[in-house]
Amino acid sequence: MTETAATSTPKSQPAPADTESAMSFDEMAQMYDETLKNFTEGSIVKGNVLEVRSNGALIDIGYKSEGFVPAEEFDDFEAVEPQTEVDVLLEGIENEDGNIVISKKKADIKRQWDNVLANYKEGGVVEGVVKGRVRGGMIIDVDGVDAFLPGSQIDIGPAHDPSAFINNSYEFKILKINEDRKNIVVSRRELLEERRRERRRNLLNEIQVGQYRTGSIKNITDFGVFVDLDGMDGLLHITDMSWGRVSHPSEMVSVGQPLEVVILDINKERERVSLGLKQKSANPWDDIDTKYPVGSRLRGKVVNLVTYGAFVELEEGVEGLVHVSEISWTKRIARASDILNVGDMVDVVVLGVNKEDQKIALGIRQTEENPWDGVRDRYPVGSRVSGVVRNFTPYGAFVELQDGIDGMIHVSDMSWTRKVNHPSEVLKKGDTVDAMIIEVDPDNQRISLGMKQAQDDPWSTIGSRYKVGQKVTGKVSKLASFGVFVEIEEGIDGLVHISQISDQHVEKVKDVLNVGQQVEARIVRIDPDERKIGLSIKAALVDDEDFQIDDEMLEGLTAGEDMVDLAGAFDAAFNTGEKSEEWHPGERRRKKDYGNQDDS
C-alpha cells in the first residue's frame, strides 16, 4: 500500500463544552468499543472516497483511521471521485503504523467467489470465457473467478490449436471446487460427451434404414470414413462409396466435408450405423447388357494395370478387363504396363458381359484388322519368301515376313548337310534370309519356314559327282570310337571305319588321326537315300587297276546299322547314347516349340 494512515488527516474533535454537557470518559470508551464490534478482519465493509490522489484513493470506512487503495485495484480509476462509495475487504484493523489495511480487489474477488459458491456446485454447468493458456491447460473466467481447464478436457478429440479457443465463451462442467484453496477445475469435454450421448440416444430412436442424413467427415481410414451424424459416428465403407473403383477414400472426401449419406444398417445394441453413398444413385450394372452389347465398340480410360491385363473404365462404376492376350494381334505382351499407362484413353470392343459377377471382357486388338486374316492366300505353302531375322530361340529363328507376321525356321530346316545345334551358328539377328513356306496355321498364328528347302539338296546329285572307287581328298572333321568323318566338300562328310584307316591294327582312332588332318581316301559305298558315304584310307593305297570292292572294305558300313551319319557321330563321340530327335513339318515337336520365343 503506497499511502498509510500517517499521511492521513486526523478526524476533527468537537470543541470543549461546559462541564455539565461534556461526555464523560466512560461514555466515550463505551461508544468506541461498540464501534470496534462493527469491524472484523476478513469482512467486506463499505467505505467512501475521502481523497483521490495520483496513485490511489483514501477510503473512510467509519473507523478511527482511513485506509488507502492503490489505483490499479479500480476497474476505472479515472472515474473515481470524492464521496464515491466502494466496498473493500478489511485485511487488518491496525498495521505497524496504526492504520487499517484494506483492499478493493480482494473484496471483489471474495464477493465473486462467494457468488460462485452460492450459485454453482460440483457437477453443475457454468459459462465462462477462455482467458489464456497456462502450463497443462487454460484459465477460464467464470463470473470473475479464475477456473482451471486441463488440456485433456478442452475438446472431445485432441485440441491441435488451443490458442484458437482464447477469448471465446463456452459452457463447462464443474469437476471440482476447493474452497480452501479457492480453486475450480472445469471440463468442456465431459459436457460435450454427455450431450453427445444424449443426442446418440435420440438419434438411434429416430433414424431408419433407407433414410438420407447429412453429416460431416470426421476421420478417414484405409477401409472407409467415419461420418459425424450429430450425435454418433457412422461408418461409410470404401466399397459403399462408389459403384466404381476407389483406391483410397481420400480420393473422394476430406476431413470436415459435409456429406449426405444413406442409412444402410442400424445396430442399436452396439450403437453402430452403416452408411452408403453409392446407394444414392442407381446401380449402373442393372442394365449393363443392354448398354454394352457384345461386339459394340467403345472408348474408355485405363484406370488400373495388373500383370495379366488392364482395367478400362467405360463409365463411373463400370470397368472392363482387357487381357494381355487381347491387346495385340501380333505382339507377345508379357505385362500390360509394357504397352499401356494409367490414364490412357483407348478404343475397345466388348467381348463378353457377365451381369451377375459384374465383369466385362474387352479387347483392344479387335479394333484393328487382324493381319492373320487371309495369310494362307498371301503365303501359300511352297512359295518362296524373304524376311529379316528378328529373334532366336534354342530351337530356331523367327523371321519377320511383314509387320506383325513372323515365320519360324527350325534348326533342322536350316541346312541340308550340317547339324545345326543353335540358329546363331548359321544366322545373325538382322540377316535377310530366303526361305520356303512349309506350313501355315492362321488359327494358332504360326508359319513354318525352311531355309534348306529354298536351296538345292546337294545329296540329290551326289551320284553325278562321286562314284564308288573314286579317290577323294578331305579333312578329318570328327573322331569317333568306330572311325573318323572326313569332309570331302562343304557339308558332305564320309565315314572311314576304324578297320579302313590303316593296314596295321588301330586300337584308338586318336592315336592315328587328328581333327583337321588332310587325308586321301577311296569311296567304297554311296547311299543317297540315307545321305551316307563310306570311305577307305587303306583302299586309296591300292592302284586303280587293282582296286576292287570286297567284304572287308564294307565292314561296319552296313546301311541302317553301323554306317552312321554326322548327327549320329556327334552323339557317339560324346557318348550320349541317344539319337537327336529330327523335326519335320507337321510333327508334334514343331508345334510344341513354336511360340516359346526368347532373346537367346
Same domain, 86 and 223: no
Q: Is residue 461 situated within a structural domain? A: no
Distances in Å between the Cα of 243 and the Cα atoms of 16, 47, 276, 474, 501 are 108, 79, 11, 80, 86
What pLDDT, on the 0 to 100 scale, is given for residue 522?
92
Element counts in the chain: helices (H) and strands (E): 8, 30
Distances in Å between the Cα of 305 and the Cα atoms of 336, 338, 342, 448, 581 are 7, 10, 7, 34, 42
Provide Rg for the chain, Cα atoms.
56
Amino acid letter, residue 30? Q
Residue 450 contacts residue 518 (beta carbons within 8 Å): no
How many domains, in total, are found in the chain?
6
Q: Is residue 201 situated within a structural domain? A: no
Same domain, 450 and 599: yes
Residue 339 backbone phi and psi in degrees, to 5: -115, -35
Sheet holding 101-103, edge to edge: 67-70, 56-60, 44-53, 85-92, 101-103
User: Domain boundary residue among 62, 82, 109?
Assistant: 109
Distances in Å between the Cα of 117 and the Cα atoms of 42, 131, 151 are 17, 21, 24
Same domain, 45 and 12: yes
Kindly give the confidence (pLDDT) of every residue in the chain, 600 residues in length, as a single tens digit, with 9 standing for 90 and above: 444 433 444 444 444 444 444 556 666 555 555 555 567 777 878 888 888 888 888 888 888 778 888 888 888 888 888 888 888 888 888 777 777 888 888 887 788 788 888 788 888 898 999 999 999 999 998 888 889 999 899 988 788 888 889 999 999 999 998 877 778 899 999 988 888 888 888 888 888 899 999 999 989 999 999 998 877 889 999 989 988 778 899 989 999 899 999 999 988 888 889 999 988 888 888 888 889 999 999 999 999 999 899 999 998 889 999 999 999 887 878 899 999 999 999 999 999 999 888 899 999 999 988 888 888 888 999 999 999 999 999 999 999 998 878 899 999 999 887 778 899 988 999 999 999 999 999 888 899 999 988 887 888 888 888 998 899 999 998 899 899 999 988 878 899 999 899 888 888 999 889 999 999 999 999 888 888 899 999 888 888 888 888 777 776 665 444 444 444 444 444 443 333 333 333 333 444 445 445 444
Same domain, 58 and 146: no
Distances in Å between the Cα of 359 and the Cα atoms of 263, 279, 350, 384 are 28, 20, 11, 46
C-alpha to C-alpha distance for 297 and 310, rounded to whole angstroms: 17
Distances in Å between the Cα of 273 and the Cα atoms of 71, 265, 476 are 62, 6, 91
Distances in Å between the Cα of 526 and the Cα atoms of 519, 523, 561 are 19, 8, 15
Same domain, 102 and 176: no
Q: Is residue 115 situated within a structural domain? A: no
What pLDDT, on the 0 to 100 scale, is given for residue 29?
57
Amino acid letter, residue 99? N
C-alpha to C-alpha distance for 288 and 284, rounded to whole angstroms: 7
Neighbours of 487 (CB within 10 A): 17
Beta bridge partners of 184: 177
Same domain, 166 and 21: no
Same domain, 375 and 419: yes
Distances in Å between the Cα of 312 and the Cα atoms of 239, 342, 370, 417 are 19, 9, 22, 54
Of the candidates 460, 506, 458, which has an alpha carbon nearest to the alpha carbon of residue 484? 506
Of the candidates 186, 166, 168, 167, which has an alpha carbon nearest to the alpha carbon of residue 176? 186
Same domain, 558 and 511: yes
Q: Is residue 197 situated within a structural domain? A: no
C-alpha to C-alpha distance for 256 and 220, rounded to whole angstroms: 10
Q: Is residue 473 situated within a structural domain? A: yes
What pLDDT, on the 0 to 100 scale, is given for residue 69?
86
C-alpha to C-alpha distance for 496 and 508, rounded to whole angstroms: 13
User: What CATH number corresponds to the domain at position 96?
Assistant: 2.40.50.140
Longest CA span, the chain: 199
Residue 46's region, left for phi above 0, alpha for psi from -120 to 50, else beta, is: beta
C-alpha to C-alpha distance for 356 and 289, rounded to whole angstroms: 11
Same domain, 27 and 87: yes
Give the SS3 label for residue 568: helix
DSSP 19: T
Same domain, 350 and 496: no
User: Domain boundary residue among 336, 366, 396?
Assistant: 366
Q: Is residue 114 situated within a structural domain? A: no
Q: Is residue 596 situated within a structural domain? A: yes
> Can you give the residue range of the structural domain that contains 429?
369-455+584-600
User: Domain boundary residue among 163, 192, 221?
Assistant: 192
Same domain, 319 and 355: yes
Q: Are strands 272-276 and 233-237 parallel, antiparallel or unpaired?
A: parallel
Which segments of 304-438 does DSSP mark as H helices, in order?
375-378
C-alpha to C-alpha distance for 434 and 437, rounded to whole angstroms: 10
Locus of grid cell 469435454: 189
Q: Is residue 381 situated within a structural domain? A: yes
Is this model's pTM higher than 0.75 or not? no
C-alpha to C-alpha distance for 485 and 502, rounded to whole angstroms: 15
> Which three three-digit cell numbers place residue 446?
504360326
Strand boundaries in 297-412, DSSP class E = 297-306, 309-315, 318-323, 345-354, 359-363, 384-393, 396-402, 405-410
Which segments of 254-390 does DSSP mark as H helices, in order?
288-291, 375-378
Give the SS3 label for residue 238: helix
DSSP 240: G
Residue 243 contacts residue 283 (beta carbons within 8 Å): yes
Amino acid letter, residue 343? G
> Which three three-digit cell numbers place residue 19?
462541564
Same domain, 18 and 74: yes
Residue 14 backbone phi and psi in degrees, to 5: -65, 150
